[in-house]
Homo-oligomer: A and B are copies of this chain.
Amino acid sequence: MQAEFLQAESASGSPSLAAALRQRRQRLATLISVPVVLWSGQSPSRNFPANSYPFRASSHFLYFAGLNLPKAAIALQGSHLTLFWDEPTPAEVLWHGPGPTRSQLAEQIGADDARPLADLEQYCAGAATIAVQDSTTRQQQEKLLGRSLVAPKLAQEPDRALVGAIAQVRLCHDDLALAEMRRAAQVTRRAHAAGRAATATATTEAEVRAAMEQVILAADMTPAYSSIVTVHGEVLHNCHYGHRLEPGDLLLADVGAETPLGWAADMTRTWPVSGQFSPTQCDIYDIVQAAHDRCIEAIAPGVEYREIHLLAARVLAEGLVSLGILCGAPEELVEQDAHALFFPHGVGHLLGLDVHDMEDLGDLAGYEPGRTRSDRFGLCYLRLDRPLRPGMVVTVEPGFYQIPALLQDPEKRDRYSALVNWDRLAGFADVRGIRIEDDVLVTATGVEVLTE
């Protein structure tokens, strides 16, 4: 190992890149009047300082600067952009090789000016910003701005205005973003195909994960989040790959690629290890598939995403009634949140530079101004509650899980005692977790499924 820190990774420069970035900056300028400074951040250390995690610039910086460049910042005065970055010293060039100059980077992204970091301080007076994730850079932000920063979702003025403006600008995607997301989705589809193929001979979850991430790395992309590849899909946040694959298992794979400029895909498939569903697995899979398909059919501009979530809940409830697992009228079951016993998460979320796009802004991006999270068991996990608009990309990811912590919870068993046929459910023990997730672009006339 010789690596010490990552070098500037430059976007593939093109006139259209600079033009697209400039357009983003112009849109922001119409929404905010104070100067803005955004930092890219730097890699956190793993086990010792020189062995850092792979660098990933702040999404807000990436959105307007289009460079995965550590230790950089941009200042926006109106739509006038100044890039701040220190070129490598001769000693750094010795180890990291030659790279683009500051002015080459500036030209590539259509910056109006380019300066060393030492000049940044004079641009910080009265500027709004968003706190980055790494604390080393956050301390620099606080020092230069002369004030302390809080998590963006708690920001006060002037930062709160910036958070609101950015949430608005990033909500609907431009052509540059969509081109990147289509590339991420395409590689992600190939990764899923490779995972499915590898299952035939794999003996552990780790081998399937490896086959999937190989496709992503070979495309010079990176996983957008910690892959979930597990025969225990009922553990929703499962990032371990140690289980052996048994013939009767379902394998749930939630794996997505991210392009070098940071745009994500997010896709889940569930398939039988043996290549063949059992009858019970098939029954439940068909229900989840139906919920997935019906939701995508229902997506269109103006539709409330919350209604998509409730539609998924209703289709799942209908299916479970038809199988005799739930008892009652589907509409009423959903009103009582009975679906959430088996589907205790939201039907999806915004997708963009972040796999949960702009989640660092709390619900300021995902929730229409004035709306807040519901207290209801069946709605409280919903990450997105807005009317859909062309250019939004959302995930659609209904699922069915048998989570012991939920289904064995005495309070839940009591509350839903009349609505669940527990004996009937026991017959479906070989269905621990199923999810089907796609990335859906809302268009003027309907949808484009990026991951299909």
CB-CB under 8 A from A226, the residues of chain B are 1, 3, 6, 51-52, 54
CB-CB under 8 A from A49, the residues of chain B are 133, 151, 359-360
CB-CB under 8 A from A94, the residues of chain B are 236, 344, 403, 405-406
A237-B4 in contact (CB<8A): yes
9-residue interface stretch from A106-114, A177-185, A205-213, A327-335: A205-213
CB-CB under 8 A from A219, the residues of chain B are 206
A237's partner among B2, B48, B236, B239 (CB-CB below 8 A) is B2
Counting contact residues on chain A (CB < 8 A from B), the size range is 35 or more
CB-CB under 8 A from A237, the residues of chain B are 2-5, 7, 95-96
A377 to chain B, nearest CB (A): 11
Nearest residue in B to A52 (C-beta to C-beta)?
Answer: B226
9-residue interface stretch from A16-24, A39-47, A157-165, A273-281: A39-47
CB-CB under 8 A from A127, the residues of chain B are none
What 0/1 pattern do residues 228 to 241 of A give for CB contact below 8 A with B?
10001011111111
CB-CB under 8 A from A58, the residues of chain B are 47
A218-B225 in contact (CB<8A): no
Name 30 interchain pairs, CB-CB below 8 A, sorted by A: A1-B224, A1-B226, A2-B345, A3-B226, A3-B237, A4-B237, A5-B237, A7-B237, A7-B238, A44-B44, A45-B133, A47-B262, A47-B354, A48-B59, A49-B133, A49-B151, A52-B226, A53-B53, A94-B406, A95-B237, A96-B238, A97-B232, A97-B234, A135-B135, A206-B217, A206-B220, A210-B214, A214-B214, A220-B241, A220-B242
Which residues of A pack against B, CB within 8 Å? 1-7, 9, 44-54, 56, 58-59, 90, 93-98, 133-136, 151, 204, 206-207, 209-211, 213-220, 224-226, 228, 232, 234-242, 254, 256, 262, 266, 344-345, 353-356, 358-360, 403-406, 409
